[in-house]
C-alpha cells in the first residue's frame, strides 16, 4: 500500500502483519471547523505537516469558494488528509483538482 510501510506488530496475543504510516503525512484542516481536529491528529501523527485551506459556500451557486490557501506549491508529503467535520463547506472527499497540484494523494477525515 502506498503511504504505508509493512511491519510486524506485537500484540498481547500474537505477532501480526500490520502497516505503519509513512513519515510524510500532511494535514489540511478546512478553516475553521477543521481546526478542532488538528491536535488529535497530531497526537496520532506527530511528524505530520499542517497546512490550512479556507472555504465557504456561495449561497447563490452553492459551490465552495476559496478565501485562504496555505498549501505548498510542490509535494512535500506522500499522503494528505483533509480535515473537515462539516460537509457544508463543500465535499472534502473530492477536493477540487487545483489542490492536487502538490502531487500528494488526498484522503479525507470527516465525522459525519
The 10s digit of each residue's pLDDT in 62-106 is: 888 899 999 888 888 888 888 988 655 455 555 554 555 445 555
Cell numbers at residue 93, please? 472527499
Q: Residue 19 phi/psi, 5° resolution?
A: -130, 145
pTM exceeds 0.75 for this model: no
For 34-59, write each residue's pLDDT tens digit: 898 999 999 988 889 999 999 888 88
pLDDT at 91: 55
Contact 70, 51 (CB under 8 A): yes
Distances from the Cα of 4 to the Cα of 7, 23, 44, angstroms:
9, 9, 15
Contact 37, 29 (CB under 8 A): yes
Contact 2, 24 (CB under 8 A): no
* All structural domains of the chain with their residue ranges: 23-109
Pick the CATH number of 23-109 from 3.40.50.2020, 2.40.128.30, 3.30.499.10, 3.40.50.1450: 3.40.50.2020
Amino acid at each position: 500500500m502506498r503511504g504505508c510501510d509493512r511491519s510486524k506488530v506485537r500484540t498481547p496475543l500474537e505477532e501480526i502483519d500490520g502497516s505503519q504510516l509513512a513519515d510524510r503525512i500532511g494535514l489540511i484542516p478546512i478553516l475553521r471547523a477543521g481546526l478542532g481536529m488538528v491536535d488529535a491528529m497530531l497526537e496520532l501523527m506527530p511528524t505530520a505537516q499542517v497546512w490550512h485551506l479556507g472555504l465557504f459556500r456561495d449561497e447563490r451557486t452553492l459551490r465552495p469558494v476559496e478565501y485562504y490557501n496555505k498549501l505548498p506549491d510542490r509535494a512535500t508529503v506522500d499522503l494528505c488528509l483533509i480535515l473537515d467535520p462539516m460537509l457544508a463547506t463543500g465535499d472534502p472527499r473530492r477536493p477540487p483538482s487545483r489542490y492536487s497540484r502538490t502531487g500528494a494523494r488526498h484522503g479525507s477525515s470527516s465525522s459525519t
